[in-house]
Each structure stands twice: as structure tokens, then as C-alpha cells.
């Protein structure tokens, strides 16, 4: 059974690939919250720990939710995936989901009882997502609406991770200026979501609605680049609130130029597996974005270098 779970994580939730991104995400959220509320000292290590572990479990819950809502389609079109082929069962995944809830609750209660309310709000939205908001057919017929409603979970997760700083610090409501940071999370979620569903023609699968299949490769790439620009715009606005706008702008411009090169290379040649490089570029963008927007300026601020 242990070997089965190892295979499952490797195929559906690779821990060593996701952990750095989730770490950057949670580090940035807690650090940005500390900076925007002008704290006299860095956030406590407990805030970082709870934010990271809770975020990691949130993203695991999102994967498990996908297994439930996509089970029929996976069984029909993707029988090679772990659940349809019987490696693990939905019942077992349901127990994992329940375990995640128990751990998140215990962590939130340990850090600050005030965290339980935003935690429950995030759980509620996550539960509605897992049921496709009771409008699966309607949403499936509208891919953009589907994506937007599902990406709305990102600001909620981010609100909770920032709350791991500002609620223990005695704030009853989010600090002023946090809104732009939450919008960044929303658009960056779109970057990651679209980036992982752009493929070369020979990599498309029957029954899998990638954005390159729905919109065509050129339009999908154009939309992905547009999401990078939107994320960068709000990241610049968020960085102004912590007096770190210019470094963020420069770093994101460098990554954006690299993304343009990857997209041009992808569109010039439709060789197999080239879409994977756009997905990798999404991860690079996310790492640079979050580290430059929260953790790096926090280290520089409290080390006296800025």
C-alpha cells in the first residue's frame, strides 16, 4: 500500500515538484502580510509553518477533488490514471481528504482560534468546487466561466495563508493593501492552469479539453501571455505597497521575455512534448513572482539592506 501511494503521488501530486512552489507561495503570503502591516519584526516561524502545511494540504485537496469530479471521464478516456486503473480508490482518497481537514483544523487552532473562520470559508468553497457548484453541465459548456469559478479558490487560500500572520498579530480584518496581493494569486492561478493545458497536436488526448484544443495553439499561447501580463501588472501594484516595485518589475520582465522565447519556439515547431516547457515556464514565473513579492523583500527589510 505504501508503494501504491508513492506511485500515486508521483503521477498525480508529485511532492518534490509541488513543494517548492507551495513553499514560495506560503512564504510570500506570510511575508507580504508582515510587510504590508509594517510589523516591527518578521513574522514568527509558527506562522510560516502553519501557512505552508495548510497550503500544501489545500492543494492536495484540490487534486483529490479533481479525482472525484473527473472519475467518469477518466474511466472513459484516461483509464491509465491511478484511480480508474485501481491503484487507489475514491474511498481511500476520501479518508485522505478527511485527514487533511483534521490536520488543518488542529494547526489553525494551535496558531490562533481566529483562523478557524477563514479556514471554514475556504473549505466551503472547496466543497462547492468538488461538486462543480451543482452545475457541472452548464459550467463544462463554458470553459472560461469554469476556469474563473475554479481559480477563485486561489485568493481564498492566499487569504488564509496571510491570515496566519495578521490574525495572530491581533488584526480582526486584513491589512489595507492586501487586495492587490490576492488578485495576483487569482491571475497567477490562471497562468498555471492554462500553462499546464497547452499541448502539441500529437499530445492531445480524446476527451481531454486542453486550452490548445479548445482555442487553438496560437490563441491559447496568447491568452497565457495575457495572464502573465495581468499578473505582472497587479504584482507591480502590490509591490508598491511594500516599496519594492522596481525590483519586482525588472525580475518579472526578464522572466516574461524568456516566456516569449519559449512560446515562439513552441509555435514554430509542433514537435511532441513541447507544451511541457510552457508548463515549466509557468512554474518558473510563479517562483520568481512569489519570492520577489514577499520573502526576498522581507529578508532585505529586516536585515537592514533596504
pLDDT per position as a tens digit, 227-276: 999 999 999 999 999 999 999 999 999 999 999 999 999 999 878 888 99
Inter-residue contact 209 to 283 (CB < 8 Å): no
Average pLDDT of 155-163? Answer: 96
For residue 282, pLDDT beyond 70:
yes
Cell of 228: 502573465
- Three cell numbers written together for 99: 485527514
Largest separation between any pair of C-alpha atoms in the chain? 58
Query: pLDDT tens across 50-72, in order?
Result: 999 999 999 999 999 999 988 98
Of 5-9, 52-56, 118-122, 201-205, least confident by mean pLDDT is 201-205
SS3 labels along the chain? CHHHHHHHHHHHCCHHHHHHHHHHHHHHHHHHHHHHCCCCCCCCHHHHHHHHHHHHHHHHHHHHHHHHHCHHHHHHHCCCCCCCCCCCCHHHHHHHHHHHHHHHHHHHHHHCHHHHHHHHHHHHHHHHHHCHHHCHHHHHCCHHHHHHHHHCHHHHHHHHHHHHHHCCCCCCCCCCCHHHHHHHHHHHHHHHHHHCCCCCHHHCCCCCCCHHHHHCHHHHHHHHHHHHHHHHHHHHHHHHCCCCHHHHHHHHHHHHHHHHHHHHHHHHCCCCCCHHHHHHHHHHHHHHHHHHHHHHHHHHHHCCCC
Contact 195, 150 (CB under 8 A): no
288 closest CA partner among 188, 152, 196, 157: 188
Q: Where are the domains of the chain?
A: 22-171, 177-306
Identify which of 230, 194, 231, 229 has the alpha carbon closest to the alpha carbon of residue 215: 194
- Residues 238, 181: contact at Cβ < 8 Å? yes
**pLDDT higher than 70, residue 188:** yes
Instruction: Give me the pLDDT at residue 280, please.
Output: 94
- CA dist., res. 107 & res. 116, Å (int): 10
Q: CATH 1.10.357: does it fit domain 22-171?
A: yes
The pLDDT score that the predictor gives to residue 58 is 97
User: Is the separation of the CB atoms in 180 and 241 below 8 Å?
Assistant: yes
**pTM confidence score:** 0.92
| Residues of the chain above pLDDT 70, percent | 99
What average pLDDT does the structure give for the chain? Answer: 93
Amino acid at each position: 500500500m505504501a508503494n501504491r501511494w508513492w506511485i500515486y503521488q508521483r503521477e498525480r501530486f508529485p511532492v518534490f515538484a509541488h513543494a517548492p512552489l507551495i513553499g514560495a507561495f506560503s512564504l510570500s503570503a506570510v511575508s507580504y502580510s508582515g510587510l504590508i502591516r509594517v510589523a516591527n519584526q518578521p513574522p514568527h516561524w509558527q506562522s510560516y509553518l502553519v501557512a505552508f502545511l495548510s497550503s500544501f494540504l489545500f492543494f492536495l485537496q484540490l487534486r483529490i477533488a479533481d479525482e472525484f469530479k473527473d472519475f467518469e471521464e477518466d474511466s472513459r478516456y484516461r483509464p491509465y490514471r491511478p484511480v480508474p486503473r485501481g491503484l487507489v480508490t475514491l474511498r481511500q482518497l476520501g479518508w485522505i481528504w478527511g485527514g487533511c481537514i483534521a490536520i488543518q483544523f488542529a494547526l489553525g487552532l494551535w496558531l490562533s482560534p481566529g483562523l478557524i473562520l477563514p479556514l471554514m470559508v475556504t473549505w466551503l468553497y472547496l466543497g462547492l468546487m468538488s461538486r462543480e457548484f451543482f452545475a457541472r453541465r452548464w459550467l463544462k459548456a463554458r470553459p472560461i466561466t469554469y476556469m474563473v469559478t475554479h481559480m477563485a479558490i486561489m485568493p481564498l487560500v492566499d487569504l488564509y495563508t496571510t491570515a496566519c500572520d495578521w490574525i495572530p498579530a491581533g488584526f480582526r480584518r486584513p491589512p489595507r493593501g492586501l487586495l492587490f496581493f490576492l488578485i495576483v494569486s487569482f491571475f497567477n492561478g490562471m497562468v498555471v492552469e492554462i500553462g499546464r493545458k497547452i499541448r502539441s497536436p500529437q499530445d492531445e488526448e480524446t476527451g481531454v479539453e486542453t486550452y490548445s484544443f479548445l482555442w487553438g495553439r496560437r490563441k491559447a499561447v496568447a491568452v497565457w501571455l495575457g495572464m502573465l501580463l495581468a499578473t505582472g501588472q497587479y504584482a507591480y501594484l502590490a509591490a508598491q505597497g511594500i516599496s519594492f516595485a522596481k525590483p519586482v518589475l525588472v525580475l518579472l520582465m526578464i522572466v516574461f521575455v524568456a516566456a516569449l522565447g519559449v512560446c515562439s519556439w513552441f509555435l514554430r515547431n509542433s514537435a511532441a512534448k513541447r507544451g511541457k516547457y510552457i508548463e515549466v515556464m509557468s512554474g518558473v514565473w510563479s517562483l520568481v513572482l512569489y519570492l520577489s513579492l514577499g520573502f526576498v523583500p522581507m529578508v532585505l527589510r529586516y536585515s537592514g539592506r533596504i
